[in-house]
Structures are given as C-alpha cells and as structure tokens.
Structure 1
Amino acid sequence: MSRLFVRVGDVVRERDARDFADVAQIANFVWLHLDGAADDVDGLLAQVAHIPAPVLAALKAQETRPRCASFGHGALVNMRGLGDPSAIDGDPLVSIRIWAQSRLAISLSYRGLGIFDRLVEQMLSGRFADPGDLISATAIEITEALDPEIADLGDALDSIECSVLDEGKTGERYRVAELRTTAIAYRRFLAPQRQALERLMTLQESWVEPDDRMHLQEAADRCARMVEELEAVRERAALVHEALTDLRAEHMNRQALVLAVVALIFLPLTFVTGLLGMNVDGIPFAHRPWAFWGVVLFCLATGGAVAVWFKATRWLQK
C-alpha cells in the first residue's frame, strides 16, 4: 500500500497518497512511499514533476544494486535492508529506492522492509525535516538491523569450529555451506551499499546537511566493518568445510584400514581351512577325533599371531 507523509511547519501528518498533488506545493517536506506491486504506482509518479526518465525506470526496476547517482536537481539512492520477517521470500535483503530532491522524497519497494515502521514513527514524530534526514536515518536503521544478523553468522561458525574435531558431527558440512552462501549473498549488496553511502556524502545538495553527512559516514563505516566480517566468515567457512571434508576422508580411510586388517588376518585362515576342506584322500589326521579342535586351535593361534604382528608394526594405530 502506498503511503504519503506531509510536514507543514512542525506538524507531520499522514495523508492519502492520492492527495500528493494538492499538498506537494505547500508542504515543507513530503515523503511518498510507493508499493511497487500496487496498481497506482504509475499514476502517482505521473503527478511528480521534473523526474528524469532514467530515474523513473530505476525506481520501477525489478532488480537493483545499491548505488547513488546524481540527476540534476536530485539524487537517486538504492539501498538494501532486511525484509519484513513475516514476508521474507527468497532473498532476505529487500531493495528500497529513494528519489530525493528539495522538499521531496519518493521511496519505492516491492517487498516489505523490516525497518519501515520505525521510519514511519520517526517521520510522524517530526524528526525528518528534509530528504537528507530520511535517507541518513534509513541507512542507520538498515545497518543496525543487519549488524546482529552478521554477528550471528560469525557466532554460528564459531560453534561449528569448536565441534569440528568431533567426528560425530560431520553433518555440519551442510550448515557451513549454508553460512557461506548467506555471507556471500549479504556481501554482494553490502559492498556497493558502502560505496553508495560514501558517494551520497559528497553530494553538494542543500538537503544533505552536516549532521546527515555524519550519520551517513557512521552507516558507511558500519557497512565497511560488516563487509570485512562477511569476508572473514566466507574464508573461515571455506577452511572449516575443508577440515570437515578431511575428517570425513580420514574416518573413511580408518574404516577401510580396519576392513583391510580383518581381511589380512583371515587370509591365512581361509587358506588353511580351504586346504583341509578338499575332498581328497591323504589329509593328515582326517580320522582322528581331536583333529577338528586341533585345526580350530591352529587357526586361533595363527589369527592371534597375525593380529599381534599388526599391532606391533602399528597398523592398528589410530
């Protein structure tokens, strides 16, 4: 659902989005948020004067990456943040596009943004006086929401690293692969988002005030730190995955060694029993009552001797 917030003096109120044309000329600051999946997007955008055609296309684009671009009297800012937990489908990071010019900010997203309600509360409380306040607050809220998520990736990997030597947990390979995939997906958007925020700080626009630049710098620094953490998580995940794979290979080799030792122990016994089991005349002691137990004792002694030899030569050492 599209929403319209209007600031006149120190009073901020939410109005029907269809009233945009009536209030845009008299308001000190207008924030129009559009639901990209709604039917009224084109009609509402048509009411906004002097929006460059490339900006309109970028606002409605389905696939975007974080960036900041200046277009004459305004700037287009794309950022990515965590989606609404109740509506996450597919990519956990949701794109929000913002067109900012003097006294006006137009944002558009196709899926619910997790921080949107907090932004609305700040807007209605009168904290946003211009587009710079809105954009810097959006950047801060996005980084604050992402920070614990990325920290959780590192914590989850720490717990796996602690248990990597436990052979009973080789199934953790799939969890490590999942963590690495998530880290790569986050880094894909956070790295350009940092560059977009840094570019936004350099814009010579009247609505980008010194305190906005300070907040943008803080958000950019957080993005840089999170990108570094994600890079570390990706590298550590690769190392842990290799260690788990090596452990599994070692476990399989150990099992193969045990089978080989057992086969070698029974190899001479199989020869003896096969030789004595031939149905021909001339087998020694074939008709003696103690012959069977004699062969059994001989086999046990031979098997024991082979096992002792394997132990003495450290074949059975783990």
Structure 2
Amino acid sequence: MNEYGYWLDSRHTLKETERLDALAQPEPLWLHLDRTRDDTRQLLKSRFPHHLVEAALAEETRPRWQYDPDGTLLLIMRGINFNPGKEAEDMVSLRCLVNDQNLVTLAGQGLKSVSEATDKLGRANDGSNTWLMLGEILRNLVRGADEHLKRLTEGLLDMEVSWLENKPDLRSPILNLDRRLLSLRRYIEPQQEMVEELTDELEDELAPEPLRLLLEVQDRMTRLLESLNILRERVKLLRDDMNAERDAQMNKTLYLLSIVTALFLPLSVITGYFGMNVGGLPWVEDPRGWLWVSALMGGCFVLSGLVMWWRRWF
C-alpha cells in the first residue's frame, strides 16, 4: 500500500521526511498512512490524543465514531475490497482522524475510495480542506458499495430471466448471492446507524460544512441500505418461487403415483383372492378360468378409471 501526504491548498505531495513537521503547520493537510507500520503510532501520537490513536490502530474494529473536545473526530468505516484476488465482501477497514487542520486516513491495504479521492484532488482547481476531503472519501466509499450492489443486482436479474425462461437449477447461485448480500448487510447496516448517530450527536458541535457532508453521506448510506434490503427481498421471492415450483412438481408426481395405485388396487385384491391356496376356489378346474379372471380384472380396471374420470380426479 502506498503512503502519501498532500497540502490541500497547493496539492503538493509531501516526502516521508516532511510528514512529521507538516502535522504542526497551519495549512490543511491530508496524510494517508499504512497502519501496520511501526512508526505510524509514534507519528500520530505526536499530534493527536493518545486514546483516539489507540482506537484507530486497534486490530479488530467495528464501525464507530468518537469525538474529542479538542475538535478531533475518529471515524472507523469499511469499504468494498476491490483488491485483486480478494472477495468484494471482505471489507477493508478505513480509520480516519480529522480536525480543521489535519486529516489522517489509515488502512492496511489499498482502498479504491482513497485512490479515487487522490485522483480528484489532483484535478481540482478550487480550494479544499480536511472536511471536504473526508466527505469525498466517504462518498467514494458509499459509491463503491453502490457499484458493487448494482453488479449483484444485474446478476440477480439474469437469474430471474433464466428462471422464467428455462427453469434451471439455481439453488447454488442463489445461496451464494444471499450469502454475499448478508455479508454486505452485516457491515453496511451498522455503518448507516453509526453515521446517523454521529450527525445527531454532533449537530451542535460541528461546523455547517462538515455537518452537511455527514448528512449527505448518511442519506446515501440510507438509500444503499434500502437497495440492499430490496435486493434481498427479490432473492427471497425467487427462492420462494423455485421452492413452489419444486413442490408443485413433487405434488404432481405424487398425485400421478396415487392415481396409478388406486387403479391397480382392485387388481391386487383379485390376484390376492385367487392366489389363496385353499380348496373351493372358483374356476380352479375350469380350462377357461384364466379368461374369466382376466375379464374380471379388466372390468374392475375400466370401472375404476371411469369412476375417477367421473369424479374429475384426472
């Protein structure tokens, strides 16, 4: 993962030796650091409250926020993993420390939302600040999840069309899609709740500009969560339709077997009756006995079929 730093006013890229001194300067600064490096902790503790630094560098994290009275906000979120060879649902953790002067983002591997923010920063002409950069990163974070969800939606649409046309066996693809959606919801739902809680709690603390950015991110995450829930409902409807089709086919087969069993039941009674090894059975000595029994069985078969047809059983 590449580390970098920018003066936001001049878009000047900082060298590694300049970063420690840059945090103490009045110009707005953005540093993106690898949280797994040993010197990252020392660098952050020189400029940020220690308890926020320890929370930002923790190994296992969940979406959370913490606001310090000095105006520093800790924000931990997760983004879609677009790294080669990785599953998109293996979300990448992004930890942010931001105040009016500095923005520090931390990640253990590459994150598309951060790289897109650097590209936009390089093309921007208007002035920027730490809160605007944070808002751009969070917007990219949500946009990446939205793009991934659209691809999953297209895959589900293909399965729906295929099911309506050919009725193939889609149990394995549906199960895999439902697992991926459940994994996404596991991270997106608490993030949406976290951002909503953050905006409610800090409405009077934050300046209008960062508050507006957080409200925009909250709205986008709410719409993303709604789209995710709708997609899960579509998966459930498709699965229910597949189960109904399977049950109908099974019921049809069982019904056919029941009809066949009912037709041959009188024949079984007759063969059982004439198969008894006792004296006095009719037609035992009659050369035409087999014909009489066959005629009796045929008549019972036809009569059973007519009764079933009259009762509209088939």
Whether the 8 Å CA contact 2:113–2:140 is kept in 1: the answer is: yes
Q: Deviations over 1:92-150 (max 9, x none)?
A: 33221100123322112234323332122223445673221221111211222222333
CA RMSD after TM alignment = 3.4
Match of 1:137 in 2: 136
Match of 1:266 in 2: 264
Q: 1:94 to 1:304 in 2, by over 3 A?
A: farther
What displacement does 1:154 show?
4.6
What displacement does 1:8 show?
7.2
Q: 1:263 to 1:33 in 2, by over 3 A?
A: same
CA distance in 2, matches of 1:104, 1:237: 44
What displacement does 1:220 show?
2.1
The aligned runs of 1:81-92 (5 Å cut-off) are: 81-89=79-87, 91-92=89-90
Match of 1:292 in 2: 290
Q: Which residues of structure 2 form unaligned runs of 5+?
A: none
Match of 1:231 in 2: 229
TM-score by length of 2: 0.80
Match of 2:12 in 1: 12
Q: 1:181 to 1:203 in 2, by over 3 A?
A: farther
Q: 1:161 to 1:60 in 2, by over 3 A?
A: same
Counterpart of 1:61 (choices 53, 58, 61) is 58
Q: Which residues of structure 1 form unaligned runs of 5+?
A: none
Higher mean C-alpha displacement, 140-149 vs 228-237: 228-237
Counterpart of 2:102 (choices 94, 97, 104) is 104
CA distance in 1, matches of 2:160, 2:297: 47
Q: Which amino acid aligns with 1:189?
A: Y
CA distance in 2, matches of 1:229, 1:108: 29
CA distance in 2, matches of 1:114, 1:303: 74
Q: Which amino acid aligns with 1:44?
A: T
Q: 1:9 to 1:237 in 2, by over 3 A?
A: closer
Match of 2:300 in 1: 302
Match of 1:43 in 2: 39
Q: Which has the higher contact order (CA 8 A, sep 6+)?
A: 1
Q: 1:126 to 1:151 in 2, by over 3 A?
A: closer
Q: 1:131 to 1:298 in 2, by over 3 A?
A: same
CA distance in 1, matches of 2:191, 2:180: 17
SS of residue paired to 1:31: strand
Q: Which amino acid aligns with 1:143?
A: V
What displacement does 1:281 show?
4.9
Whether the 8 Å CA contact 1:80–1:189 is kept in 2: the answer is: yes
Whether the 8 Å CA contact 1:12–1:126 is kept in 2: the answer is: no
Q: 1:254 to 1:62 in 2, by over 3 A?
A: farther
Q: Deviations over 1:70-101 (max 9, x none)?
A: 11231111222211241424843322110012
Match of 2:247 in 1: 249
CA distance in 1, matches of 2:133, 2:66: 17
SS of residue paired to 1:263: helix
TM-score by length of 1: 0.79
What displacement does 1:19 show?
4.1
SS of residue paired to 2:30: strand
